[in-house]
């Protein structure tokens, strides 16, 4: 949900969206202009502000998924049902100017990142939450629609769970992500993980891909506090195409935006992730991944670890 409710009762102040008329805004890539994507962003914001269910039905992809400020995930059906039940409950946000909007086009997909400030009350105290929004647009039958949206809290009630020094390292690591690929059976790969140099305790988001001849699985780890992380899971026949898209995206991103949050959204737009819940934050790669790899036994595997941010 683009403007999602916090657990606190937020009081809306203003909602504004300015589309920058600039040379870069009109730049075309893959047959669509960045300016057009920003225009659709504006239409989306207006539709939610008015509780316009018909407009949202058209703008949101059939498999649209959202992650709100509290980490809750939902579907298009859930968003529209909530809007229908109480359209006045949508939380407006005070967007920063259009310079905070960044659009990256990848063929039939586009990723938009932007900042927003939410202000309200919590136990009669003023609350300000600054968040980074990320929207994934995809082309469906010649129409551009939103496939996924996610808020990542930068500062505020949830952001305080992660120390500022940690968030600063996260921003730095977004510019220098790593991809590790290991080959062999389960025992060989687990033994290689014992020589861990990945530094998972300092990472906010990382991804595990396990590929065998006939199956694949994906696990996304997201730090939620100094003590806990959330894990999201998918499994299927193959992840090779998605793996190549992810590594290409890391190269194209060049540290411009939070590569972890954007990668999660791109994955969400491609496959259906299951929320496995919270776990104690793993201290080593062996602790994080060994139990997932061990059951493959003697199967020859390709294991990829994407250290994102």
Structure confidence at residue 13 (pLDDT) = 30
Which domains can be identified in the chain, with CATH numbers?
28-156 (3.10.450.50), 169-307 (no CATH)
Structure confidence at residue 83 (pLDDT) = 75
Residue 39, phi then psi, degrees to nearest 5? -60, -40
41: tokens are 């962003």
Structure confidence at residue 164 (pLDDT) = 57
Could you tell me which of 289, 283, 298, 186 has the C-alpha nearest to residue 233?
289
Structure confidence at residue 217 (pLDDT) = 94
Residue 7, phi then psi, degrees to nearest 5? -65, -25
Q: How far lies 128's CA from each of 18, 108, 154, 161, 267, in Å?
A: 22, 36, 11, 15, 30
Instruction: Label the pairing between strands 178-184 and 205-211.
Output: unpaired
Q: How many CB atoms lie within 10 A of CB 164?
A: 10
**What gap in Å lies between CA 164 and CA 133, rounded to an integer?**
19
Catalogue the E-assigned strands of the chain: 28-29, 32-33, 60-67, 73-75, 94-95, 102-106, 109-122, 125-140, 143-155, 178-184, 205-211, 216-223, 228-236, 274-280, 301-307
The residues that bridge with 111 in the sheet, in sequence order, are 104, 136
Round the CA-based radius of gyration of the chain to a whole number and report it.
20
Q: How many CB atoms lie within 10 A of CB 142?
A: 5
Structure confidence at residue 208 (pLDDT) = 94
Structure confidence at residue 300 (pLDDT) = 96
Structure confidence at residue 165 (pLDDT) = 59
Host H or E run for residue 242: helix 240-253
Residue with token string 């962003």:
41
- List strands edge to edge, sheet with 228-236: 178-184, 301-307, 205-211, 216-223, 228-236, 274-280
From the first residue on, what is the mean pLDDT of each consecutive set of 10 residues in the chain (309 residues)? Answer: 42 36 45 87 86 92 83 82 53 44 87 77 61 87 90 59 58 75 95 87 88 92 83 89 80 66 76 88 91 93 90
Could you tell me which of 80, 50, 43 has the C-alpha nearest to residue 62?
80
**What gap in Å lies between CA 187 and CA 304, rounded to an integer?**
16
Could you tell me which of 199, 177, 179, 148 has the C-alpha nearest to residue 260?
177
Q: Angle between the 164-174 and 259-270 helix axes, to the nearest 10 degrees?
A: 70
Structure confidence at residue 253 (pLDDT) = 65
**What gap in Å lies between CA 31 and CA 107, rounded to an integer?**
8
The residues that bridge with 155 in the sheet, in sequence order, are 130
**What gap in Å lies between CA 229 and CA 208, rounded to an integer?**
14
């Amino acid at each position: 949900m683009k403007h999602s409710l916090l657990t606190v009762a937020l009081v809306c102040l203003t909602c504004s969206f300015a589309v920058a008329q600039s040379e870069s805004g009109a730049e075309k890539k893959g047959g669509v202009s960045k300016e057009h994507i920003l225009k659709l962003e504006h239409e989306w914001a207006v539709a939610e502000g008015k509780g316009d269910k018909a407009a949202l039905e058209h703008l949101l992809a059939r498999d649209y998924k959202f992650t709100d400020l509290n980490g809750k995930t939902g579907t298009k059906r859930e968003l529209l049902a909530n809007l229908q039940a109480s359209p006045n409950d949508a939380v407006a946000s005070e967007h920063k100017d259009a310079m905070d909007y960044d659009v990256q086009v990848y063929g039939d997909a586009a990723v938009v990142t932007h900042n927003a400030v939410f202000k309200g009350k919590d136990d009669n105290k003023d609350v300000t939450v600054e968040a980074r929004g990320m929207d994934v647009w995809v082309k469906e039958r010649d129409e551009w629609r939103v496939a996924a949206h996610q808020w990542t809290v930068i500062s505020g009630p949830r952001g305080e769970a992660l120390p500022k020094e940690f968030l600063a390292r996260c921003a730095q690591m977004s510019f220098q992500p790593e991809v590790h690929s290991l080959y062999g059976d389960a025992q060989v790969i687990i033994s290689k993980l014992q020589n861990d140099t990945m530094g998972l305790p300092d990472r906010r988001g990382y991804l595990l891909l396990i590929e065998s001849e006939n199956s694949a699985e994906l696990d996304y780890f997201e730090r939620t506090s100094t003590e806990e992380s959330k894990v999201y899971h998918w499994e299927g026949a193959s992840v090779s195409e998605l793996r190549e898209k992810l590594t290409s995206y890391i190269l194209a991103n060049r540290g411009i935006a939070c590569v972890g949050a954007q990668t999660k959204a791109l994955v969400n737009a491609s496959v259906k992730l299951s929320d496995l819940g919270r776990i104690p934050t793993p201290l080593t790669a062996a602790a994080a991944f060994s139990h997932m790899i061990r059951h493959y036994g003697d199967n020859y595997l390709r294991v990829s670890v994407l250290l994102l941010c």
